[in-house]
Amino acid sequence: MELFSLKGKTAVITGGTHGLGMAMAEGLAMAGAKLIITSTTPAKLEDALTHYKAQGYEASGYIFDVTDETAATENVAKMEAEHGSIDILVNNAGIIKRVLAVDMPIEDFRRVIDVDLVGAFIMSRQVAKGMIARRSGKIINICSMMSELGRTNVTAYAAAKGGLKMLTRNLATEWAPYNIQVNGIGPGYYATTQTAPIRVDGNPFNEFIISRTPAGRWGDPQDLAGTAIFLASGASNFINGQIIYVDGGLLATIGKPANE
* Catalytic residue of the set 52, 57, 62, 157: 157
Cβ-contact 126, 91 below 8 angstroms:
no
Burial of 197 (0-12, 13-18, 19+ CB in 10 A): exposed
Cβ-contact 113, 130 below 8 angstroms:
no
Work out the angle at residue 23's Cα, subtended by the Cα atoms of residues 30 and 66, and round it to the nearest 5 degrees. Answer: 110
Cβ-contact 141, 182 below 8 angstroms:
yes
Q: Distance between terminal CA atoms of the chain? A: 44
Cβ-contact 127, 70 below 8 angstroms:
no
For strand 34-39 and strand 59-63, is the pairing parallel, antiparallel, or unpaired?
parallel
* Nearest C-alpha neighbor of 73 from the set 14, 124, 35, 10: 124
62 is catalytic: no
Residues acting as catalytic residues: 157
